[in-house]
Structure 1
């Protein structure tokens, strides 16, 4: 069941990543669907205790505050996706995932900086980096 859950959640992240790349926004209904999927998978396979699921979602809440303070320099959709991912993975695993997602983001940002130079209003979607980190961690057996 856990492998099916990993595939389902990875597929969900893939759909959201494609949407984020194309539209530069994530619709609320897609985030809500992910929340239901995360809670269902978390509840039925029971590998992550409820407390860790809730605290994992709270990590996304912290990012919502960051989104608010930075006037959405880090988007609300990205913050909500972190909350959805936190429900599925739990507190410690979502932190681990975020470390790798930010490493990948930094590498990409460095590449863009070298290639195109500094652009004050440069922006790119974050969910694809969550997906890449998730796939890497799952393939390495880390979650």
Structure 2
């Protein structure tokens, strides 16, 4: 049992790290514009055509409003994100993507689609279903502890 757990731990950690490396390489090759992977994930959390309150994006990222505010200030200054007050409730700050931010969002979506397509191309339908079910259970486990 211990060996199995160690093997699974190595697989999970290794897979996570590999995904991050591939994602960082894609950033350098496609749409870097000086963005970090954290910046791109912040852009994705804002959403393509949405006007979300800051707390929605913070929840999507699992970060505090203060951390998000710092990231958004930088992305706004670079022209990727727009902040505006909610007309119905002036206390709320709504986030949306600029055309430049939407370009990054689309490129990131395409990257993920291509990565998944390539990674899953060796699996048949049954294997893909088993993998999806197992990953779903792992995600539920980690989400319940986050």
TM-score (norm 2): 0.31
Q: Which structure features the higher share of helix residues?
A: 1
Q: Relative contact order, CA 8 A, sep 6+: which one is greater?
A: 1
Larger radius of gyration: 2
Q: Which structure features the higher share of strand residues?
A: 2
TM-score (norm 1): 0.32
